[in-house]
Chains A and B, each alone.
Chain A
Amino acid sequence: MVEILVVIFGLSLLWASVTNMLGTIIKILVLQGVILFAITLLKTTQLNWISFSLIALETLVFKAFLIPWFIDDTIKHNQIRREVEASVSNFFSLALMSLIFLLSFALSAAAPFWSLNLSPLEFGIAFATILKGIFIIIANKKLITHLMGYLIMENGIFMLSLSAGSHLPYIVSLGVSLDLILSVLIAVLFIKRIRSTFDDTESPQSLKEE
């Protein structure tokens, strides 16, 4: 069951690399949030209301609802054009995506797995997600896409943390997600301000050594 979800999660990455629309990526984010929620639920052995609420907060509320809504709102209110405008073509990014999968599975194949709640598959997908997130950041110029890449990367990390979820103290995981949401908030704030001052949705590059 978990494996299937994980695979779907991985497929969502492929989807992300073929899409051209920001909206699609937002959908992907929502999807990933939901999947993560499901996986967490399935993985947690003893379920009390604290952990449940915590998991729900982390995944459903933040990842699947709040943040996508922010971003969607930002896109609407800042006249950001809805194409991704990646500097690499879809085919190329697809190829790269598969390469990333290759790398991460190679790594997970090389790795010794002791802790039971982490399978090579999960690790591979998680790692691939992290790399994919960074790759999205690199391949795009728009601030909003940078943010999305960052979020996908965060999802990958969260997936990684599922393995250690039971070990992480609640305070840590809570703090982590709080930090995440805060940083996203501030990032959105900055995007708005940059939009208003620079009158541009791409990341500014006036600060350099000329």
Chain B
Amino acid sequence: MINALCVIFLPLLFMGLISKVKAIMVGRKGKPILQSSWDFWKLLRKDEIYSNHATQISRFAPLLALAVTFVAAMFVPFLSNNTLLSFRGDYILIVYLLSLAKGIMALAAMDSGSSFQGMGTSRELSFTAFLEPAFFLVVAALIFSSGAGSTAESFAQQSIFHSSIWATLAAASLAIALFIMLLVESSRVPFDDPATHLELTMIHEVMILDFSGFNLAVIHYTAALKMFIYASLISRLILPPQIAVWWYLALMLAIYVLVGVLESLMARFRMNRNLELVLLPLCIALLSLAMRLARYMGAW
């Protein structure tokens, strides 16, 4: 229950946090943290305008995406480890629910027959091609010889605080992999720059060019939610199982701040090199799996 509450309220808050951090980094005062939530409310009350090519898809796609992401969030441990839903192998469901959201949004983007969306969707989708295997490998590395079945178990039972340095390293590398995936998935610098003024260079933003009002709000919220899911997976991976809530909150805070800092320090990579970088988490996950395997075989 508490999970559900925090799923509903926290994501937008943290998004606001990021922009705040960026503002501070460049020395501005910046808009208040709740700004993004207010934008959300404002958009909800606005009307929508659609291209006359648009079919029903772009009407209901964002809603479906939101619903799906929401349900995916129900499998993820947030504040508390016992999630609403959980069964053996539910991470597969999560991945596919997220890709369903992505797919339907891609269709919705192409719906308007504009000349820009094609680029955005194709880039976004080609990232998925490498992120899905990466995620599965991460999970594989997590549940390797640990009998864990569901997402909640496999992520919550882990922590990087191990006796042996190697085990810590393995877990930490997984966390890094997940963090890169977070950057990609929630279309952040260095993979995508939501704040640029040139649509040609954007990914997520250019996909939603032709959306407005209610649906735009829903889309923003979905994106925030997705990022939140990843962030909380990372923190659950890092933290040991039984630990007080504020540790979790602190870590989440840290992650978002880190994202903000990165955005203000780094520049965006070249578009066509991105894809190769997206391979990074896959490799890292493989490495860590190898480490665990070696360890199990008794390498040390």
* A–B touching in complex (CB under 8 Å): no
Tell me the A residues contacting B by CB distance below 8 Å: none
Tell me the B residues contacting A by CB distance below 8 Å: none
